[in-house]
Every structure is written in C-alpha cells, then in structure tokens.
Amino acid sequence: MAARDDASTRTAVIHAVVPVLNEEPNVAALVARLKEALAPQAPYRVLFIDDGSRDGTVDVLKTRGAEIGVIAHPKNLGPGAAFRTGFTEVLKTLQPGDLVVTLEGDGTSDLTILPRMLSRIRHEDDDIVLASCYLFGGGIKGTSLHRVGLSHIANGLVKQTLGLSGLATLSSFFRVYQGRTLLKLREAFGARLFEFDGFESQIEILHLARKLQMRVSEVPMVLDGSRRLGKSKMKILRTSIAYLRLVARYRS
C-alpha cells in the first residue's frame, strides 16, 4: 500500500520482512494471514526474501498482489543473509516512525499476537519486541523434545556469555523493530547491521542492540510446528555450533 512521498508528513508504514526457503506449500496461506493482520494496523509493505528455493515459492508469491515484493537469492545463503538483504532494501526508504516486522516464512508465527506486540512499541516505546515461546504463557507444540532441549542449552550458554540473560528467547524470527532502532543500529555498526549468515544472526542483532542500551521486551507466543507443511529449515547441531562461533566472536 502506497504511502505519501513527503517523508516529513507521510503516514507511518509497517514493513514486513520474511525470509523463505522452499515454502511453496505455506506461503499462500501466510500471505493471506499477513494481510489480515497488517491491514487494520497501518499502510504496509511485505518483502519476501527467497533464499535460493528450488520449488515454486517465488511463483506463488508473485501472484499475491501489489503490496507483496520478492527479492530472490540465486542460491541458499542462510537466514541471516536473507534478513540482511531485506533490511538493506527496507532501509532505503525507512523513516524513524515506521515499524519493521520480521517473522518465519513457514507459517508457525502466531500473528494473533501482533496487535499486542505493536502496542508495546507504540505505547511503551520499546525498541524491539520479541515473540517468545519460552516466556510464561508461551509454549512449543509439534516439535520434538530433543530439538527443544538442545535449543534451551544453546540459548542458556549464549545468554550468560553475551549479557542477554534478561530475555527468555533469543532466536525467534517474529519481532517488531522501531524504524529508528534499525537506523541507529546501522549508524553505529554499519550498513550490514550484523555479520553472521545463519540463525545466530538473530542473537547477534540483540547483542548489538544491548550495546546501545536499547529496550527489548517480549510477548508470549505458542510456537505451533503443526502449522508448517514440510520440515523445519533449522539444523539444531549446525546452529548450536554457529552459536559457539558467535560467542567466540563477541567475547574476543
């Protein structure tokens, strides 16, 4: 949906950035849910970053309407690289009063909590709001116990070593950022915002935000893996090793 061109007077826009990889069975329903969730809130734009899909994900997205944009990586680079591409594009027009929503591309993010997340931003002036399955009132469904256990261990290690112990979750894609927050992060840390290409990039950006003493809060969410058609793209062992590299990078 178009916003007024005059940056000083134009209506604030919600930019949604969604990385996808081989999500052909999920993206049509996700787009419909996104439109339903965002339309009552503000003018919006949704940018999908296709991270090297080999199925019909891009073809489906290109038929979803004018407010849906797609940038395609020629090969799989990782979710961090996809977010970097998306943020770089959004930052070309982003204004301090805009909001940026990020979420999983497999349909597991519970968009019914989005109004509460936006309320935290608008009324409590938080810089970043996270959807947290580990916060009281949240939970995880449709995910194996060993994956949940490894995730807890990795998150616990990272929280202690990077000074993020006040947060229940670190790696959730479902977030809301103030426009001014991403602009400040870019000013402080450069156009790339973060360096890591994998799932650990989501922890990295929280670590950088904490360095700038930004306010980060959480809203409980039930992460329901049964909403996903197909397998999760996160490889727990590979991601846990990447978390260790992240810790080594920022402790040095």
**Structural domains in the chain, sorted by start:** 14-251 (3.90.550.10)
Q: pLDDT value at position 214? A: 96
Residues lower than pLDDT 70 in the chain: 1-10, 142-156, 225-240, 252
Q: pLDDT value at position 146? A: 47
Assess contact for 31 and 64: CB atoms under 8 A.
Answer: yes
Q: How far is CA 185 from the centre of its chain?
A: 15
Rounded Cα gap, residues 231 and 26, in angstroms: 11
Tell me: the pLDDT tens digits for 93-144?
999 999 999 999 999 899 999 999 999 999 999 999 999 988 888 888 765 5
Q: pLDDT value at position 243? A: 72
CA distances from 216 to 159, 167, 248 (A): 14, 8, 23
The pair phi, psi for residue 163, each rounded to 5°, is 70, 35
